[in-house]
Every structure is written in C-alpha cells, then in structure tokens.
Amino acid sequence: EAGVAQSPRYKIIEKRQSVAFWCNPISGHATLYWYQQILGQGPKLLIQFQNNGVVDDSQLPKDRFSAERLKGVDSTLKIQPAKLEDSAVYLCASSHRLAGGLETQYFGPGTRLLVL
C-alpha cells in the first residue's frame, strides 16, 4: 500500500511570496489533515477534511493560509503572503476515520519550508 505523498519536499522562498504544498493521501482514506511542525516542537493541527468538507480549521491562520480538497482526494495548502514565522515542516496525514470511531493517522514525509 502506497503511503501519503507530499511535494515538494523542500521549498525556500522570500517573505511576502506565495507557496503551495500538495498532498495525496492513502487511497480510500476519507479524512485528511494538515499539520505545521516548527523546529523543536510537536506538530500542530492546521485543518482537517472529511472527504471534501472542512471538519476543523480553528487553528488555521485564515488571513494568509488556505487549503482545499476539491474532489475529496488530493489536497493543497497555500500560504500567501508568507512570513518568516511560517518556516516549518508541513505534514499531511490521512486516516480511514469517519464520524466517530478511531483510526490511526498515517503521515507523509512533510514539506520543509524556509522563509527568508
């Protein structure tokens, strides 16, 4: 079974530029998550999708971050404009989980973003 795929693996941009990350979850996984992991800290949830709907985006800085999962499969996370403090690893995860129940989340390798 193929794992969660993410691209690009690395990205370096200047502040105020825009950047987009792509995630392809494990086939058949209804739920997709984006996490931000700042160096030295644990991952922090940004947004959770169930199929193509948003379940939780309470920690997403909506003035600059946006995410979509239009067909309920792939997802993109965008930052516009980027700030220095956005430098982090952006992790995508997926799970079988539907409403209720309990499932393991499977993580992709992450995209390491450096904002200069």
Task: State which amino acid sits at residue 2.
Answer: A
CB atoms within 10 A of CB 112: 16
Please identify, using beta-carbon distances, which residue of 43 and 79 lies nearer to other proteins: 43
Among 8, 16, 18, 44, binds other proteins (CB under 8 A): 44
Residue 3 near residue 106 (C-beta atoms within 8 A): yes
C-alpha–C-alpha distance, residues 15 and 88, integer Å: 13
User: Interface with other proteins includes 108 (CB under 8 A)?
Assistant: yes
Q: How far is the CB of 116 from other proteins (least distance, A)?
A: 20
Residue 29 near residue 78 (C-beta atoms within 8 A): no
Binding site for other proteins (CB under 8 A): 4, 31, 33, 35, 40-45, 48, 50, 55-56, 91, 93, 97, 99-100, 102, 104-110, 112
